[in-house]
Chain A
Amino acid sequence: MSVANCSAFLEQLDQWMEGERSPAAVAHLRSCKACGNLIADLDSIRDTAPSLAATDPEPSERVWSALRAQLQDEGLIHAAHPGVSDILKRWLRGTFLVLPRPVLAGAYLAALIAVGFVLSGSNGLRNDSNLWMSRMQRSTQPLSASLETEEGAISSMADTNPVVTASLRKSLAAIDNDIALCEKSVREEPQNEFVRDYLYEAYQQKADLIAQVTEGDEGQ
């Protein structure tokens, strides 16, 4: 099967994660940073999973709903089209079976971010600023909402070590500042893939930090 674009590659995502890798998919991955990042994130989640203990494995339906809605919005899911979200859901669910909740929080957000990044670069809309803006907002709004919910963990964190708490809060503020700067730049240059890359990476960092905080807090 020819893999000419990201959508075609995503159709083969299930096979890819099972180890069936067509030359066309391999070739696409070499040339597509977005899909490369997605695979790297999924590989990272899979590699981390075996070393972690099982606790509360099931990701919330909210996550799947957000993924599905996002994919449908982008037109990647159709009745006759293999459901990319179902592939991701099935694969990630298997992974999440051995992930504790704090790690899971970071992991599913990372997956969401990775998907968002793929979607933002897959439709060849490079010359249409309005469409880029629209796609960017659709990609980041669910992430932002999820992260705001999780962010309460830092506010409610037990203040057992003021040095640690201060460092976490300072870092969270720094990331929020980065996100704000990147979003401003995205509004100014919606087609700039590098700015979008920085924005998604900032969200990734925020997700990782929040996961780290919740993990530490539960460990106390």
Chain B
Amino acid sequence: MSTSCNLSGSLSWKVAGVLVPGLLLLSALPASADKIQRHFKVDARPVVTVHNPNGTITVRAWTKSEVMLIATRATDQVEVDAEQSGNRVDINTRQVSDSASPESTRADYEISVPEDAELQIHDDSGGVNVSNVLGDMNVETIAADVDMADVAGYLTVKTVGGSFQCARCAGRLEVSSITGNFRLIDLRSTYVRAQTSEGNILFTGQFLPNSTYRLKNYNGVIEVRFSPEDSFDLSATSLKGKVHNEAKLVPPSHHHFLPRFGNGLFGSFNSGRAMVELSSFDGTINILKRN
């Protein structure tokens, strides 16, 4: 089923059953409409995709079994298409005119989702903010910064120049960028792989047992802050840069596997229950005590 409607009106869909078949197309915006609110009833673990080339995307978890979209568009040079197909909600910004300026094609989204929602977000410029969502998520941006807090699941984030911050994140995290900086604050993740070419990486969080933390860059600073209770095996190598360390490490027993090049630091802190690998081409690596 496919339906088009005027976005300035208010229309709610309530369909009984586990899945909500149907398609809600939101298009043909009137020129005066700059704020849109839509609701989509969903079941457990819905999938929400957002494609917004220019603007901010803010996603928050709430307790309702529905997805709510509040879209603010700069002008009528852009339209917002939102459609539901089963337990999936797709939100897409569509540019009406090829000659429109970037300012006029901006659309900002505030989206409320169930906490177990899976998110797929694409945002070229603007910004992405996600909080309290526990489902898996994939975020891709070019220049847009990505800011997450209190999220979990399998998180994959890829930016070109945008920075990434994750506060109190759990689950599995894979983040890559070329010139973006990363701030991984109070993490509780069991797997972290973070790589940026020209950016800095800050990690403060728990090194959980049987977990892996791989941080890598070409230039810039990689800074890891540990607490006395942490337990990890450390490998820190900067081929052309420096490694500063405040952790008292027990040297590894097998030296012949260690790299022969660059400035390297290897050893165990406490009983070495987590694996921490820090590598840089000519950046600086700091392993510092957490205050």
Contacts and interface: CB of A to CB of B under 8 A. Distances in A.
Interface string A43-54: 000000000000
Contacts of B142: 164, 167-168, 212, 216
Main secondary structure of the interface of A (DSSP, over half): helix
Contacts of B262: 194
Given A161-B54, A161-B124, A170 B161 contact: yes
B125 A161 contact: yes
Given A182-B281, A192-B261, A171 B102 contact: no
Contact of A167 (B54, B143, B240): B143
12 contacts: A160-B102, A161-B125, A162-B102, A163-B125, A163-B143, A167-B143, A178-B198, A178-B281, A195-B239, A198-B281, A205-B197, A216-B124
A32 interface: no
Nearest to B217: A178
B23 interface: no
Contacts of B259: 194
Contacts of A175: 178, 197
A174 B178 contact: yes
Interface residues of B, number: 24
Contacts of B53: 161, 164
Given A181-B281, A205-B178, A212-B160, 16 more contacts: A161-B125, A163-B102, A164-B143, A166-B143, A167-B179, A170-B161, A171-B160, A171-B161, A171-B178, A174-B179, A175-B178, A178-B219, A192-B239, A194-B239, A194-B261, A195-B261
Contacts of A174: 178-179, 197-198
Contacts of A194: 237, 239, 259, 261-262
B90 interface: no
A168 B102 contact: no
A177 B220 CA distance: 13
Interface of B: 53-54, 102, 124-125, 142-143, 160-162, 178-179, 197-198, 218-219, 237, 239-240, 259, 261-262, 281-282
Contacts of B239: 185, 192, 194-195, 198
Given A171-B179, A194-B237, A194-B239, A178 B218 contact: yes
A41 interface: no
Given A161-B102, A167-B142, A178-B281, A185 B240 contact: yes
A58 interface: no
A31 B178 CA distance: 29
Interface of B, secondary structure class, is loop
Interface of A: 160-164, 166-168, 170-171, 174-175, 177-178, 181-182, 185, 189, 192, 194-195, 198, 202, 205, 209, 212, 216
A198 B161 contact: no
B165 to A, nearest CB: 17
Q: Which interface residue of A162, A171, A182, A192 has the most chain B CB atoms within 10 A?
A: A171
Contacts of A161: 53-54, 102, 124-125
Contact of B218 (A162, A163, A202): A202
Contacts of B237: 194
Nearest to B124: A164
Contacts of B124: 161, 164, 216
A178 B178 CA distance: 11
Nearest to A206: B178
A189 B124 CA distance: 39
A17 to B, nearest CB: 24
